[in-house]
C-alpha cells in the first residue's frame, strides 16, 4: 500500500499552464513562482502534463503511468508515482488540492 493517499488530488499552483517543452522524452519546465528551470525525465514529465490538463489523484496517475509504460499497476508503480509526486511537490510545480 502506498503511503501517499491514493485519493489525494494534485494540481499546478498557477492559473493556466506551466511552460513545458517535450523534447524526445526529456521535458523542460519553467516554474514562474520560483524562477527555476527544471529538466524532468519522461515519467515526471508525463505526470506533470496530466496534472496540468486537469487535477488528478494519485490513483488516476498510477493508472496513467501503468498504461503509458505498459507495466502492471501494482505497488511498485504506486511507489514510483508517489516519489515523482513528492519531487514535483518539492519543486513547487504541483500542490495537493485541499478538501472542501
Partner 1 sequence: MLAPQNQVRVPAPQNQERVLVGDLPRKDLARRLRREGVHLNTGAFTTHLHIALDSLVDEFAEMYALYPLEDPPGIDDAYVRVVGGALYSRLFKPVAHAWADAQAIEPVPAERAFTAMETAFNWGVASSDVAPMIMHSAVLERDGRALFMPAPSGSGKSTLCAALAWRGWRLLSDEMAVFSFEDGNVYPNPRPVSLKNQAIGIVAAFEPRARFSRVYRGTLKGDVAYMQSPSEAIARAQEPAIPGLVVAPVYVKGAATTLKELDRSEGFRWLIDSSLNYASMLRPGFDILTRVAEQSGLYSLTYSDLDSAIEAINGLHEGTPVRQGSA
State the residues that interact with partner 1 by CB under 8 A.
19, 21-24, 26, 28, 30, 32, 35, 37, 39
Distance of alpha carbon 87 from alpha carbon 100, whole angstroms: 25
SS3 26: strand
48-56-53 Cα angle (round to 5) = 55
**Is the CB of 21 or the CB of 76 nearer to partner 1?**
21
Minimum CB–partner distance for residue 39 and partner 1 (Å): 5
Nearer to partner 1, 32 or 97 (CB): 32
Nearer to partner 1, 5 or 37 (CB): 37
Of residues 98, 99, 100, 91, the one with CA closest to residue 27: 91
* Smallest gap from residue 57 Cβ to partner 1 (A): 28
Minimum distance of partner 1 from residue 20's CB (angstroms): 8
- Calpha distance 45→53 (Å, rounded): 12
Amino acid at each position: 500500500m502506498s503511503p501517499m493517499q491514493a485519493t489525494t488530488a494534485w494540481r499546478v499552483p498557477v492559473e493556466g499552464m506551466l511552460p513545458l517543452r517535450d523534447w524526445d522524452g526529456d521535458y523542460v519546465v519553467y516554474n514562474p513562482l520560483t524562477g527555476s528551470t527544471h529538466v524532468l525525465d519522461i515519467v515526471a514529465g508525463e505526470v506533470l502534463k496530466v496534472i496540468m490538463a486537469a487535477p488528478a489523484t494519485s490513483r488516476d496517475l498510477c493508472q496513467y503511468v501503468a498504461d503509458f509504460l505498459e507495466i502492471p499497476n501494482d505497488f511498485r508503480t504506486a511507489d514510483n508515482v508517489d516519489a515523482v509526486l513528492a519531487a514535483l511537490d518539492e519543486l513547487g510545480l504541483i500542490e495537493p488540492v485541499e478538501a472542501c
